[in-house]
């Protein structure tokens, strides 16, 4: 069971599938050449006949083999050797995992590719392959009688005699943890709103905290009232499901060390409230807790990797619904920090939830903050469905988060925070209004949040595009994506552990 590194020779690996990544127009590595010999030159013939070219993420299945302990081989193209990167390797390995995970109890062995003189290290490749096999073999099958794919029963990652066994075993364990934390975030998003609502989300948080040795705390509606979280509570008021604020703590460093706060928007369903969404805009709104799911996933990995840092995850959980008590247009709310907010659109609810949670994070001593939210359709208009918008009040902190995203292979792009955008949020009757004009909507949303972080270095990640994928791709399952989980773990990994 589980995921293992091994440097046994290929011929002695026992598995259902052997995955071999091959570069485009490159000679076979010694290990693959030896295998080719065992197969009487089959791989060479496939390449000569151009039936397999090594083009990135193309595959070829060799079935019914008798010469090896593995009856099947999947060749997967890695593209040109010189262009090998973590993201091309991920695309290839995710495609491979998705291609061969259709049967139950599959054991897979993956040959560690030759990273040669590329920018990719052997450890990073081993970690990435473990993560890709873990993520790629899990589909959206939560509610189906017959699953489209099944998690691998066993994952073997095979190096050569010269590979550093201990380092690779560690990398493989790390990759498995990354993959499992991404899968947790995906699962939370993929569960429908009848399964995941504020109370059930918070219960899951508590259960997970027990499993991984995190400290947890859940504030119920009474405690949220005591905290004067009038902005978040207003959103919750139109739902039969009461709100919760779930908090997870990982203390990996001294109490005097700075705390990283991760804050997630956890709107378990966003109907739009009285500013109700049309069906088309509402049908994927179970995904509106994607920020909270990313925080939950990342916190599990931070705990399991025992990172020597202090991190607190805050998940603001509400359902945005319509009933006789719904908050209304023209309502003036008082947020936890005393600022008043005129509500002019009940569908701009995410910022109302985050406003109160951010001030709590600040008051509880966050040295630096990252919030994640499926916040605006405008961000999707600006950056498309696969890029996360970055907004910040602090250049250095923003750069640190962007660097972490880059080394995690997640695409992010920084948006401007010019002061003139804040003009749109001036209200005639309150300190702020919750919406601006049509223009620059992702930025005005960020400018709204900025009112609730004081001077604390803060990065807001708008994941409205990448948190949920409408369709399957060869290298990625549709549904919840677990986006930004890897980046958050990397940020924590780089975070200061001393005062
Ligand atoms: N949850 C939505 C944003 C969203 C849109 C997420 C598409 C994922 C995919 C958010 O609460 C919302 O409704 N935003 C409004 C803001 C507007 C009323 C200012 C929007 O984007 O239309
Ligand atoms: Mn909304
Ligand atoms: Zn929303």
CA distance 227 to 169: 46
Closest CA to 497 of 309, 219, 363: 309
Instruction: Write down the catalytic residue from 107, 249, 277, 406.
Output: 277
Q: Sign of the C-alpha dihedral, residues 132, 2, 61, 36?
A: positive
Residue 351 designated active-site: yes
What are the pLDDT digits (tens) for 70-79?
999 999 999 9
The backbone torsions φ and ψ at residue 187, rounded to the nearest 5 degrees and listed phi first, read -60, -45
Check whether residue 172 and residue 197 sit in a common domain: no
Could you tell me if 52 and 58 are in contact, meaning their C-beta atoms sit under 8 angstroms apart? yes
CA distance 250 to 284: 32
Share of the chain above pLDDT 70, in %: 100
Mean pLDDT of 411-436: 98
What are the pLDDT digits (tens) for 252-291?
999 999 999 999 999 999 999 999 999 999 999 999 999 9
Domain that holds residue 141: 2-179
CA distance 183 to 134: 8
- CATH number of the domain at 131, please: 3.40.220.10
Look at residues 129, 151, 179 and tell me which one is the last residue of a structural domain: 179
pLDDT band at 85 (very low <50, low <70, confident <90, very high): very high
Check whether residue 305 and residue 400 sit in a common domain: yes
pTM over 0.85: yes
- Is position 184 within any domain? no
Mean pLDDT of 425-442: 97
Radius of gyration for the alpha carbons in the chain, expressed in angstroms and rounded: 24
Look at residues 179, 203, 227 and tell me which one is the last residue of a structural domain: 179
Residue nearest to atom 14 of ligand 1 (CA): 376
Check whether residue 173 and residue 309 sit in a common domain: no
CA distance 143 to 98: 19
Query: How many domains does the chain divide into?
Result: 2
Question: Is residue 499's pLDDT more than 80?
Answer: no
What are the pLDDT digits (tens) for 160-186?
878 889 999 999 999 999 999 999 999
Could you tell me if 482 and 297 are in contact, meaning their C-beta atoms sit under 8 angstroms apart? yes
Check whether residue 447 and residue 494 sit in a common domain: yes
Residue with tokens 């550093």: 164
Q: Residue 464 is inside which H or E element, if any?
A: none
**pLDDT at res. 205:** 99
Q: Which atom of ligand 1 approaches the CA of 434 most closely? A: 19
Check whether residue 244 and residue 159 sit in a common domain: no
Could you tell me if 171 and 152 are in contact, meaning their C-beta atoms sit under 8 angstroms apart? no
**pLDDT at res. 496:** 87
Check whether residue 343 and residue 256 sit in a common domain: yes
- Is position 292 within any domain? yes
Check whether residue 357 and residue 461 sit in a common domain: yes
Share of the chain above pLDDT 90, in %: 95
- Is position 185 within any domain? no
**pLDDT at res. 160:** 80
Residue 265 in tokens: 């928007």
- Is position 186 within any domain? no
Q: If DSSP codes are grouped into helix, strand and coil, which group holds residue 262?
A: strand
- CATH number of the domain at 356, please: 3.40.630.10
Residue 328 designated active-site: no
- Is position 26 within any domain? yes
Question: What is the DSSP code string of 349-414?
Answer: -HHHHHHHHHHHHHHTTEEEEEEEE---HHHHHHH-SS-EEEEES-HHHHHHHHHHHHHTT--EEE
Choose the weakest-confidence range: 18-22, 156-160, 457-461, 482-486. Answer: 156-160
Give the contacts of 278 (CB within 8 A, at least 6 positions apart): none
* DSSP code at position 227: T
Question: Is residue 369's pLDDT more than 90?
Answer: yes
CA distance 147 to 256: 48
Question: Is residue 498's pLDDT more than 80?
Answer: no
Question: Is residue 1's pLDDT more than 70?
Answer: no
Check whether residue 358 and residue 249 sit in a common domain: yes
What are the pLDDT digits (tens) for 14-62?
999 999 999 998 999 999 999 999 999 999 999 999 999 999 999 999 9
Look at residues 144, 179, 214 and tell me which one is the last residue of a structural domain: 179
Check whether residue 460 and residue 385 sit in a common domain: yes
Question: Is residue 443's pLDDT more than 80?
Answer: yes
Instruction: Write down the catalytic residue from 204, 304, 351, 476.
Output: 351
CA distance 382 to 377: 9
Q: Which atom of ligand 1 approaches the CA of 277 most closely? A: 13
**pLDDT at res. 118:** 85
């Amino acid at each position: 069971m589980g995921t293992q590194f091994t440097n046994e020779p290929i011929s002695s690996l026992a598995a259902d599938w052997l995955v071999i990544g091959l570069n485009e127009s490159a000679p076979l590595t010694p290990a693959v050449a030896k295998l080719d010999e065992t197969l009487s030159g089959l791989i060479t013939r496939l390449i000569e006949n151009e039936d397999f070219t090594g083009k990135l993420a193309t595959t070829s299945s060799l079935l019914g083999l008798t010469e090896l302990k593995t009856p099947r081989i999947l060749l997967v193209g890695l593209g040109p050797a010189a262009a090998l990167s973590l993201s091309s390797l991920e695309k290839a390995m995710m495609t491979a995992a998705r291609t061969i995970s259709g049967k139950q109890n599959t054991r897979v062995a993956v040959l560690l590719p030759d990273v040669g003189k590329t920018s990719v290290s052997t450890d990073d490749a081993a970690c990435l392959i473990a993560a890709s096999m873990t993520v790629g073999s899990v589909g959206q099958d939560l509610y189906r009688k017959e699953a489209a794919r099944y998690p691998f029963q066993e994952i073997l990652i095979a190096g050569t005699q010269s590979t550093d066994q201990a380092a690779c075993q560690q990398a493989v364990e790390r990759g498995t943890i990354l993959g499992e934390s991404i899968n947790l975030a995906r699962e939370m998003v993929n569960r429908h709103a009848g399964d995941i609502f504020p109370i059930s989300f918070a219960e899951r948080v508590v259960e997970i905290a027990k499993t991984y040795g995190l400290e947890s705390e859940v504030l119920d509606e009474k405690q949220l009232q005591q905290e004067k979280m009038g902005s978040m509570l207003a959103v919750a008021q139109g739902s039969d499901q009461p709100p919760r604020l779930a908090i997870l703590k990982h203390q990996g460093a001294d109490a005097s060390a700075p705390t990283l706060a991760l804050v997630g928007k956890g709107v378990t369903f966003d109907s739009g409230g009285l500013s109700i969404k049309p069906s088309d805009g509402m049908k994927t709104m179970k995904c509106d807790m994607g920020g909270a799911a990313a925080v939950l996933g990342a916190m599990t990995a931070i705990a399991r990797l025992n990172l020597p840092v202090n991190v607190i995850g805050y998940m603001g959980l509400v359902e945005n619904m319509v009933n006789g008590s719904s908050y209304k247009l023209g309502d003036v709310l008082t947020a936890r920090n005393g600022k008043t907010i005129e509500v002019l659109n009940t569908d701009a609810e995410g910022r109302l939830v985050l406003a109160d949670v951010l001030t709590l994070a600040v008051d509880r001593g966050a040295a630096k903050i990252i919030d994640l939210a499926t916040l605006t359709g405008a961000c999707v208009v600006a950056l498309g469905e696969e890029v996360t918008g970055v907004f910040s009040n602090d250049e250095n902190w923003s750069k640190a988060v962007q660097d972490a995203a880059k080394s995690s292979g997640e695409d992010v792009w920084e948006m401007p925070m010019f002061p003139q955008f804040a003009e749109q949020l001036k209200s005639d009757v309150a300190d702020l209004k919750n919406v601006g004009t049509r223009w620059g909507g992702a930025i005005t949303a960020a400018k709204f949040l900025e009112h609730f972080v004081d001077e604390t270095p803060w990065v807001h990640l708008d994941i409205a595009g990448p948190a949920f994928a409408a369709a399957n791709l060869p290298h990625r399952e549709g549904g919840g994506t677990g986006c930004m989980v890897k980046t958050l773990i990397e940020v924590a990994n780089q975070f200061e552990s001393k005062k």
